[in-house]
A and B are shown apart, each in its own frame.
Chain A
């Protein structure tokens, strides 16, 4: 097995989950209605919990422990796509991001359930159900607000137009695409992206929203190898504040 290729794959999945989980958790107590606040917060916890599982596999492959991986790296050492580090904005943007990202995530985990690298296959099978609910949640909200009032439609459309180039950054090819494919570890970002596009369009078509052009795809690239927006470092500083004050803190 090509350990470097596997680590590369694990880092981007774990970092995406950790950063988006943290961003989404910022809605706790601020959600548009109580029930939604609880649901969105729960999903944020799912993401952070899932990231911990992926960091644990990295740990088993020789990387340092999950807490240190999560809290002690700088922005340029993170492999998350830029989409997940963008500020939450208003709820329209957070929902669009949740929709674009989680749709890709569910397809990724479905693909990885067949991975020849067993720890990833087992974990992906196990968390597919959680992410399935996340996409149900996203789809229902997008269908609802994407066909409701002129305000909700124009807000979602503006967020969709803004987010799309960054969403395409999810599929930035890895240095190891060929190795991962050849060894049956992961079918690759290109396959994932094609499936994703079909599903996204399938939902958008059921609303008054229009699928934006995909021409600006170069804009959201770079995150997988440490090129991030200015938003990531302050986010990491805030996230790791307690850990950096006292790494042994426990409660």
Chain B
């Protein structure tokens, strides 16, 4: 028996009903690694974490992130990609206590590498780019960040990324976000169905 579907694409494949069961299940961690995407919507605006994508490498992560996270916006000025495992995450804090309170070491003053600092100001929101520090290592970067980027609002979590681990979109490629304004045939938002839904609901309510 071939699988029956109202979708003509499925019909054309002539998939036997048993076929789907033959595949061996995937192992638990048999998937691509994750990359975190950061977006700056406009020059001068903050660079914010927007979410992760699965990808086999950094370049493909960039491709995917562009469509996952920047398609619906009006414009994107910069898109940055960092492999998740290259982000050092601090502890989490809560209840108006800044996570920096637990950072007691002083900056070493030894500068070997450049690190980028991201702060989380509200649980459930995204991390926001704060600035660069020059430091010896990740922990030293955190100590530096406490000194150089004091925050009035409590910081609940810090991400530290080595600057060399960041893939940033090329300025010359900014035109990939300079797209057509007309969304007809390509955005669900352009299909105006609210009136029909309302009329249908009223009809149902009357019956």
Q: Which chain A residues have a beta carbon within 8 Å of chain B's beta carbons?
A: 26, 30, 33-36, 38-39, 42-43, 45-46, 48-50, 52-53, 126-130, 132-133, 136-137, 140-141, 144, 238, 251
A130 vs B177: C-alpha distance in the bound complex, in angstroms? 7
Question: A129 near B68 (CB under 8 angstroms)?
Answer: no
Q: Which chain B residues have a beta carbon within 8 Å of chain A's beta carbons?
A: 8-9, 32, 53-57, 59-60, 63-64, 66-68, 71, 173, 175-180, 182-187, 191, 193, 196
Question: A35 near B66 (CB under 8 angstroms)?
Answer: no
In the assembled complex, the CB of A203 is this many whole angstroms from the nearest CB of chain B, namely 13
Asked if A137 meets B63 with Cβ closer than 8 Å, knowing A35-B53, A35-B68, A130-B180, the reply is yes
Question: B56 near A144 (CB under 8 angstroms)?
Answer: yes
Contacts of B184 on A, CB cut-off 8 Å?
49, 52
Asked if A49 meets B185 with Cβ closer than 8 Å, knowing A33-B54, A130-B180, A238-B8, the reply is yes
In the assembled complex, the CB of A50 is this many whole angstroms from the nearest CB of chain B, namely 7
Contacts of A126 on B, CB cut-off 8 Å?
178-180
- For B193, give the chain A residue with the smallest CB separation: A251
Q: Interface majority SS on A: helix, strand, loop or mixed?
A: helix
**What are 6 residue pairs bridging A and B, where the CB atoms are less than 8 Å apart in the complex?**
A30-B9, A33-B54, A39-B67, A46-B186, A132-B175, A137-B63
In the assembled complex, the CB of B74 is this many whole angstroms from the nearest CB of chain A, namely 13
Candidates A30, A34, A48, A127; contact of B185 at CB < 8 Å:
A48
Question: A133 near B66 (CB under 8 angstroms)?
Answer: yes
Q: Please name 12 further chain A to chain B contacts, defined as beta carbons within 8 Å, in addition to the given A48-B186, A126-B179, A126-B180, sorted by A numbering.
A: A33-B54, A35-B55, A35-B67, A38-B68, A39-B64, A39-B66, A42-B71, A45-B186, A49-B186, A129-B178, A130-B179, A251-B196
- For A129, give the chain B residue with the smallest CB separation: B175
Candidates B54, B176, B180, B193; contact of A133 at CB < 8 Å:
B176
Question: A36 near B64 (CB under 8 angstroms)?
Answer: yes
Asked if A35 meets B54 with Cβ closer than 8 Å, knowing A46-B186, A140-B60, the reply is yes
Asked if A129 meets B176 with Cβ closer than 8 Å, knowing A33-B54, A48-B186, the reply is yes
In the assembled complex, the CB of B50 is this many whole angstroms from the nearest CB of chain A, namely 13
A132 vs B63: C-alpha distance in the bound complex, in angstroms? 12
User: By CB atoms of chain A within 10 A, which of B56, B183, B186 has the most?
Assistant: B186
Asked if A128 meets B175 with Cβ closer than 8 Å, knowing A34-B54, A38-B67, the reply is yes
A45 vs B180: C-alpha distance in the bound complex, in angstroms? 12
A133 vs B182: C-alpha distance in the bound complex, in angstroms? 18
A53 vs B181: C-alpha distance in the bound complex, in angstroms? 11
Question: A49 near B54 (CB under 8 angstroms)?
Answer: no
Going nearest first, the 5 A-B pairs with the smallest beta carbon separation are A45-B186, A35-B64, A129-B175, A39-B67, A49-B186
A129 vs B191: C-alpha distance in the bound complex, in angstroms? 25
Question: A136 near B191 (CB under 8 angstroms)?
Answer: no
Contacts of A251 on B, CB cut-off 8 Å?
191, 193, 196
Question: B180 near A50 (CB under 8 angstroms)?
Answer: yes
In the assembled complex, the CB of A119 is this many whole angstroms from the nearest CB of chain B, namely 14
In the assembled complex, the CB of B73 is this many whole angstroms from the nearest CB of chain A, namely 13
Question: A136 near B9 (CB under 8 angstroms)?
Answer: no
Candidates B60, B182, B193; contact of A144 at CB < 8 Å:
B60
Contacts of B175 on A, CB cut-off 8 Å?
128-129, 132
Asked if A129 meets B177 with Cβ closer than 8 Å, knowing A30-B9, A46-B186, the reply is yes
Question: A49 near B182 (CB under 8 angstroms)?
Answer: yes
Candidates B8, B63, B180; contact of A140 at CB < 8 Å:
B63
- For B71, give the chain A residue with the smallest CB separation: A42
Question: B67 near A42 (CB under 8 angstroms)?
Answer: yes
Contacts of B67 on A, CB cut-off 8 Å?
35, 38-39, 42-43
Contacts of A35 on B, CB cut-off 8 Å?
53-55, 64, 67-68
Candidates A36, A53, A132; contact of B176 at CB < 8 Å:
A132
In the assembled complex, the CB of B38 is this many whole angstroms from the nearest CB of chain A, namely 16
